[in-house]
Amino acid sequence: MYDYLIVGAGYAGSVLAERLARDSGKKVLIVDRRPHLAGNAYDHPDAAGILVHKYGPHIFHTNSKEIFDYLSQFTEWRAFEHRVLALVDGQLLPIPINLDTVNQLYGLDLDSAGLEEFFAKVREPVAHIRTSEDVVVSTVGRDLYEKFFRGYTRKQWGLDPSELSAGVTARIPTRTDRDDRYFGDTYQSMPRHGYTRMFENMLDHENITIQLNTDYRDVKDAVPYREMIYTGPIDEFFDFRFGKLPYRSLEFRHETHDREVFQPRPVVNYPNDFDYTRITEFKYLTGQQHPKTSIVYEYPRAEGDPYYPIPRPQNAELYSQYQALSEDTPGLYFVGRLASYKYYNMDQVVGQALTLYAKIAQKKGGWKNTAAPVPA
Ligand code: FAD
Ligand code: UDP
């Protein structure tokens, strides 16, 4: 008899499996329908022996010491600050927009104070920021919005920024100095031996049984268990009872090139040209030395594996119907990016899973209950 059947061996499922087994001595069966651990963070050596991320670039960043310390039990780290260029008007310019972006784009020589004045002139005041268009035009004005955000967003989401909640483009800061890092978080690192190795270490426990290539629907009636933790798409779990929740998908085109370096930064974004949104060169992320180099193109798709929940009010409303249903089912927990229908980064999913673990442990009483951080 298993105490828990956990569906999905990504961050959400693996953190809960680890905590329940190691901290509470529970017996856990974790299943994933894919042939590997780590969910969308899965990495592996490709045919050339270069470590690549199968489902697109994954860069770890967090402001939470608790989350960083938790994962540090399972990996060493390699410090890595991510940097991105965007191809705009024939030039490769830093994104997030900063002092150099504006000076190079318009041939100006502003300092930070000058850039603040520039933004003050071009920004369009918006009384209530609701959409992803509002966020950008109210900060940097319409021309920069159109050059850097409108085309990229329409391509990535199949929607205009005015149709998406503010949080989508609000992920990208605006800077008036020359800081060209993509993230501003306190901790920015890559697992030294890759994500998959970190997950293997996390799940290496005598109380954890792993079954890959297994849909939970094929085992749920055959295997005895007390409670279930589900980390897949929430609408699928309930057989799309209230209708399908929209997810955005991607097609990944992986290539290896017979030269040492492909592009000048780890990622180059293509907001206005080509069908892909960005190209990632993996050796920058991992620090691997190799005479060849491997890259991945991302082509946004309406159909395919669900990668992104689509943040907009009508989808949040549909999700809340599923959420209400999920809260009505004792002994069943929903956690993670697809089960919560939230555009979460890896660290936020770790935080959400640790918080759920603390709740479960507290409810049962009598277990050793380690403090859980609040999700970032
Ligand atoms: P998942 O990783 O999706 O795991 C869920 C698992 O459940 C999957 O493996 C799935 O196969 C399994 N499953 C579903 N249904 C069933 C079923 N019926 N039976 C059995 N198994 C099932 N975050 C960052 O912090 N930094 C980044 O740079 C970053 N880049 C990203 C780039 C891309 C292209 C994408 C798509 C995401 C990126 N993320 C990034 C987000 C990150 O991938 C997620 O936050 C994280 O992987 C979510 O973990 P999860 O466990 O919730 O879900
Ligand atoms: N975005 C954009 N132009 C860019 C980078 C980002 O318009 O050059 C917008 C776009 O809507 C994108 C969102 O900001 O989907 C979030 O970008 P991020 O790089 O965080 O996306 P992710 O890595 O999650 O795909």
**CATH number of the domain that 335 lies in?**
3.40.50.720
Measured from CB, residues less than 6 Å from any atom of ligand 1 are 7-13, 31-34, 39-41, 55-59, 215-216, 231-232, 250, 307, 336-338, 344-347, 349
In a domain, 12, yes or no: yes
The identity of residue 341, as a single letter, is Y
Nearest CA to ligand 1 atom 48: 337
Q: Identify any residues that bridge with 60 across adjacent strands, giving them in sequence order.
A: 189
- State the pLDDT at residue 374: 43
pLDDT of 372 higher than 50: no
Distance 47 CA to ligand 2 centre (A): 30
State how far the alpha carbon of 335 is from the alpha carbons of 7, 40, 102, 347, 362, in Å. Answer: 10, 15, 41, 13, 17
pLDDT of 114 higher than 90: yes
241 in the same domain as 339: yes
Question: pLDDT tens digits for 159-217?
Answer: 999 999 999 999 999 999 999 999 999 999 999 999 999 999 999 999 999 999 999 99
210 in the same domain as 154: no
95 in the same domain as 143: yes
237 in the same domain as 319: yes
Distance 169 CA to ligand 2 centre (A): 6
323 in the same domain as 211: yes
Cα 180 to Cα 237: distance, rounded to the nearest angstrom: 42
In a domain, 45, yes or no: no
Structural domain ending residue among the three candidates 152, 170, 188: 170
357 in the same domain as 211: yes
**Ligand 1 atom closest to 58 (CA):** 28
Cα 17 to Cα 231: distance, rounded to the nearest angstrom: 12
151 in the same domain as 9: no
pLDDT tier for residue 330 given thresholds of 50, 70 and 90 = confident
Any alpha helices (H) in the chain, and if so which ranges? 11-18, 24, 65-72, 99-106, 112-122, 132-140, 142-144, 151-157, 195-202, 234-237, 282-286, 313-327, 346-364
Which ligand places an atom closest to the C-alpha of 296?
1
Question: pLDDT tens digits for 42-86?
Answer: 999 999 999 999 999 999 999 999 999 999 999 999 999 999 999
**Ligand 1 atom closest to 214 (CA):** 20
Q: How many structural domains is the chain composed of?
A: 2
Cα 277 to Cα 153: distance, rounded to the nearest angstrom: 9
Give residue 19's domain range.
2-37+203-245+310-364
Nearest CA to ligand 2 atom 20: 171
213 in the same domain as 166: no
Distance 111 CA to ligand 2 centre (A): 26
Which ligand places an atom closest to the C-alpha of 93?
2
Measured from CB, residues less than 6 Å from any atom of ligand 2 are 86, 95, 148-149, 152-153, 156, 168-169, 171-172, 269, 271
Q: Mean pLDDT, the chain, as a whole number?
A: 96
Distance 11 CA to ligand 1 centre (A): 7
162 in the same domain as 98: yes
Percent of the chain with pLDDT over 70: 97
232 in the same domain as 113: no
Distance 57 CA to ligand 2 centre (A): 13
- State the pLDDT at residue 369: 42
163 in the same domain as 18: no
CA angle, 325 then 329 then 330, to 5°: 155
Euclidean distance between the first and the last CA atom of the chain, given in angstroms as a whole number? 35
Whole-prediction pTM: 0.97
Question: pLDDT tens digits for 299-320?
Answer: 999 999 999 999 999 999 999 9
In a domain, 340, yes or no: yes
Cα 288 to Cα 46: distance, rounded to the nearest angstrom: 13
Nearest CA to ligand 1 atom 21: 32
Which ligand places an atom closest to the C-alpha of 269?
2
Which ligand places an atom closest to the C-alpha of 337?
1
Which ligand places an atom closest to the C-alpha of 347?
1
Question: pLDDT tens digits for 234-244?
Answer: 999 999 999 99
In a domain, 52, yes or no: no
13 in the same domain as 92: no
Preceding peptide of 311 cis, ω within 30°: no
In a domain, 117, yes or no: yes
pLDDT tier for residue 328 given thresholds of 50, 70 and 90 = confident
**Ligand 2 atom closest to 164 (CA):** 11
Percent of the chain with pLDDT over 90: 95
